[in-house]
Amino acid sequence: MAVEIPNGTSRHFPLLAALYAVTGLTSVGYEVLWARMMSLQFGVSVFAVVLTVAVFMIGLGAGSLWTASRTVRIKRPLLWLGVLEGAIACYALLLPTLLQLSSGQIEHAAARLSLDEWYGLTAAGSGLLLLLPALAMGAGFPLVLSATGESTRRLARIYGLNTLGAACGALLPLWLLPVLGWSGAVRTVATVGLAAAAALLWLSFRHLRAAPETSPGVRPPWRALLAYGGIGAASLALEIAWTRLYGMIMLRTEYVLALILAAFLAGIGIGSLLAPREHKKGWFIALPIAAGAFTVLSLWLLPPFSAWIERTSFHSLFSAMALQGALLMLMTLPVTLALGAWLPLLNARLNGGGMWLYGANSVGAALGAVFTGLVLIPCIGSAGAIVAAGMALLVLGLLWSRAPAAWLAVPVLAAAAWPVATLPPVSALLPQIQAGSRNLYVYEDAISITHVVEQADGQRLLLTDLQKMDASTELTAVFVQANQARLPLLLQGAPHKVLFLGLGTGISLAGSLPFPDLNRTAVELSQGAINAAGTWFAPANHDATRHARVIRDDARRFLAATNEKYDVIVGDLFHPDLAGVSALLSLQEFQRARARLTDNGLFVQWLAINQFDPGSLGVILRTFRRAFPDAQIFLDGMHLALVGPRGKFAGAAGLAATLQRLSPAQRDAATAGEGDWTWLGRYWGPIPDSAGPVQDEWRPVIEFRLPRARYAGAVDVASTLRVLLRVRPDIETAATLLGVPPADGESFGRAYGATELMVRSWVADLEGSSMDADRLLRLAYQGNPQDRWVSYALADSMMGALAFARQQGVSEQEFLQRILRLNPRHVGALRALWHLQLERHDAGAAATRARLLAISPLDREARQGGEIGVP
């Protein structure tokens, strides 16, 4: 009988090892793409990712163990390996079509399930879709060892090269996805898989000769399998927690997540290739101690690594990823080298059984992924999970040491780990941006890490996964957030039901409070944000959460699941380049929002101008217009409102209808004292038609384009504003588009012109033309003194001239009063006036302090009564 020779000296081993490295590339390429697919199908949730990884690993482990027990009966292992790889590739080729066809059924199922039931469907879907190909992948390791022999040297090379191929597979989607889209990327990886399968089949049929059958390695003792399975669980716990923490400080884009996974796998592959051929006793002492010690050291190095990233300027995405990735790999390499060396050393020590160990390790990794995502991180946090993983690697590894003295490392490591078992304060991770701040509240679960930070001036900041631009209680930020509700509710005409996609601090929700008889719903996935909005931000949001139904859910799933219709839907601000988040700006998401609107309903998606380059902004505008053909643009400060009516845009008539329903006091509160024409003056015209790509769930653009643009310096606010100025219609055209009555043309024109002058002033200031900026700003104020953005900017400019006014002999108190007449809500001027009154023992100091607290209730100095004392 002809069988393949398991001959370690076979001249075809290099080719076989290279082909198996390619299967590693395709396997992890599938895993990364399928994880993204699960997020598309089941919402942007870490549960989808954890379950995908868990199913993938359990399939690898079960497939390896099942095949290892049957290798003695398999006479043509390379033939079976080629067949399985070909079958996996064929399945992958069909999967995109199957998923796109099933999207409608999945969204229909969402309407009938609770969130917990939805997560159950996610788990079942992961198992149904991914388990079978993962089992086939897992069978590959025993099959290739059957063909090559289970010598430690061959096993180390096979395992190491396969894992290095997997590291390349983690990076491959970064190039494929933005060029080919999700379906094209999967098909490209599958084509590579088919080529590898064909080569394996050719090798199987071409290079055979008679040889005695080989016996597979004897199954190791259960104690060894359980211990190595525990090491697999600790390894996946470490990978997930490292990805959470280091991805957080490196800004968790698609590029960063792929880079961390690639660094982890590359270290394991190198460790296997460098593993010594002989299992000396010292290695089983050194490996667990090194793995445990450097795991804990990675937590000690987290704050300086974060501080280095914060203060370092990177000139391109490549330089940022190369430098950050190199440093990250240096920090984690001792651990991953140890993880890679363990399998060959154990195979040598146990006289074979490597395929069994591989299977046990993979099954343990699957259990570790689930336990870490659903238990460890919610209970003890990511830092605690890393400590637990490090301790597990040490203890389990020392089971093979047979050196009692080595166990002294356990209490030593525990003592070293104790100070870093909790996440460092934000001021340590961001020592420049958050200098002088202190943590008020930290909540971590499998979704995100939520921080509430009190800054040096007493204002509070909500940070999600340490992002540096989330919502604040600073007065201007409060105005911005409240306006996110004001604008759409003013424009709709007769709002009765409003849906907020995102809660944040709850201040946006507070902007809806002046509107009577309003049914409010807010959807927020982060439980930490929900808790913070109801407690730590209650003084700034006026307890708005008590006036709303707050639902914990993924926005995508909620829109697919609910049958309710809303007059207004508000899409919150978020960071569009973060992994998975850009799906909220996709064509499909906008279409879901449109489907949930009443006939006269309005969807408004807010965008921060400073987060986009002109090209990326164009992608989102085209995408929004595709879903809402009559889409319009408004500009509020440095934020764009994409206004999507389900039917025809009501324009000035809609705003007039809304205001007619309100009392004078409600009208003043609803417009923030700015009047109706100020809001219409922020109109920027219809979204223009243009050619180019759109953001599609199945063909993403933004999450790959924006990181490159940001590091290349293309995210330039002045350039983006200039582009917007070029497309803004003239006053007469705008009045026609809005349906402004001719009798109100002058009022509208003054407000409309003031907005443009203000924007041109900002552009001049950003480009260094301060004199032009000041001139334009004063013209804008003359045109519309009610516009808060104009009065804020002009008051800031005057505060900057306070020192010069003193030198000219102008009364400081009178100058401050002049600023406050211009902008009664200017915190800096109020504080300066209060200090001046305290120094002069002016009886008006108490009233000024009361004004300051009314405007800024969290101001630390005002709450404490001031450094000089209160009369």
Convert the pLDDT of each residue in 682-714 to its tens digit: 999 999 989 999 998 888 888 888 888 888 888
CB 153 within 8 A of CB 277: yes
User: CB under 8 Å to 835, separation ≥6 — which residues?
Assistant: 866, 868
Residue 736, domain member (yes or no): no
Q: Are 251 and 180 in the same domain?
A: no
> Which residue, of 464, 484, 514, is where some domain finishes?
464
Convert the pLDDT of each residue in 541-582 to its tens digit: 999 999 999 999 888 888 888 889 999 999 988 888 777 778
DSSP assignment of 801-846 equals: THHHHHHTT--HHHHHHHHHHH-TT-HHHHHHHHHHHHHTT-TTHH
Residue 763, domain member (yes or no): yes
CA distance 178 to 591: 22
CATH code where residue 160 lies: 1.20.1250.20
pLDDT score recorded for residue 209: 39
CB 692 within 8 A of CB 618: yes
Hey, what are 180's tokens? 């080919």
CATH code where residue 646 lies: 3.40.50.150
pLDDT score recorded for residue 198: 94
Q: Are 823 and 702 in the same domain?
A: no
Is beta strand 519-524 parallel, antiparallel or unpaired with respect to 549-552? parallel
Question: Which residue is associated with the tokens 């993983």?
Answer: 389
Q: Are 37 and 17 in the same domain?
A: yes
Q: Which domain holds residue 852?
A: 802-871
Residue 817, domain member (yes or no): yes
Q: Are 768 and 821 in the same domain?
A: no
The sign of the torsion formed by the CA atoms of 681, 685, 686, 688 equals negative
Convert the pLDDT of each residue in 357-411 to its tens digit: 999 999 999 999 989 988 999 999 999 999 999 999 999 999 998 888 999 999 9
Convert the pLDDT of each residue in 141-173 to its tens digit: 999 988 887 788 889 999 999 999 999 999 998
CB atoms within 10 A of CB 216: 23
Residue 765, domain member (yes or no): yes
Q: Please, what is the Cα angle at 867 between 862 and 871, to 5 degrees?
A: 75
CA distance 535 to 836: 34
Let me know how long the chain is: 871
CA distance 268 to 275: 10
Q: What's the structural domain count of the chain?
A: 6
Q: Are 9 and 148 in the same domain?
A: yes
For residue 269, name the pLDDT band (cuts at 50, 70, 90). Answer: very high
Residue 326, domain member (yes or no): yes
pLDDT score recorded for residue 10: 57
Hey, what are 515's tokens? 């509107």
Q: Are 16 and 111 in the same domain?
A: yes
DSSP assignment of 786-806 equals: T-HHHHHHHHHHHHHTHHHHH
pTM of the prediction? Answer: 0.89
Residue 470 has pLDDT above 70, yes or no: no
Q: Are 252 and 340 in the same domain?
A: yes
Strands, E, within 536-656: which ranges?
A: 549-552, 566-571, 597-608, 632-636, 639-645
Residue 100 has pLDDT above 70, yes or no: no
Question: Which long-range contacts link 589-595 to residues 24+ away (Cβ below 8 Å)?
Answer: 589/555, 589/556, 589/559, 589/697, 590/623, 590/624, 590/626, 590/627, 590/628, 590/644, 591/627, 592/556, 592/559, 592/560, 593/501, 593/559, 593/569, 593/627, 593/644, 594/627, 594/628, 594/644, 594/646, 595/559
Residue 128 has pLDDT above 80, yes or no: no
CA distance 256 to 701: 16
Q: Are 455 and 395 in the same domain?
A: no
- Between residues 865 and 246, the one the model is more confident about: 246
Distances (CA, A) of 252 to 350, 501, 577: 41, 21, 8
Hey, what are 853's tokens? 């607290």
CB 203 within 8 A of CB 19: yes
pLDDT score recorded for residue 9: 40
Q: Are 567 and 709 in the same domain?
A: yes
CB 602 within 8 A of CB 567: yes
Share of the chain above pLDDT 70, in %: 92
pLDDT score recorded for residue 777: 93
Q: Please, what is the Cα angle at 687 between 681 and 690, to 5 degrees?
A: 150
> Which residue, of 216, 239, 255, is where some domain finishes?
216
Residue 445 has pLDDT above 70, yes or no: yes
CA distance 508 to 485: 6
Hey, what are 823's tokens? 């902008």
Q: Are 573 and 672 in the same domain?
A: yes
Convert the pLDDT of each residue in 113-123 to its tens digit: 666 676 677 67
- Between residues 130 and 494, the one the model is more confident about: 494
User: CB under 8 Å to 227, separation ≥6 — which residues?
Assistant: 396, 399, 400
Residue 277, domain member (yes or no): no
Residue 579, domain member (yes or no): yes
Strands, E, within 433-583: which ranges?
A: 438-444, 449-454, 460-464, 497-501, 519-524, 549-552, 566-571
Residue 142, domain member (yes or no): yes
Q: What are phi and psi of 761, to 5 degrees?
A: -65, -40
CATH code where residue 855 lies: 1.25.40
Q: Are 816 and 754 in the same domain?
A: no
pLDDT score recorded for residue 170: 92
> Which residue, of 171, 199, 216, is where some domain finishes?
216
Q: Are 677 and 595 in the same domain?
A: yes
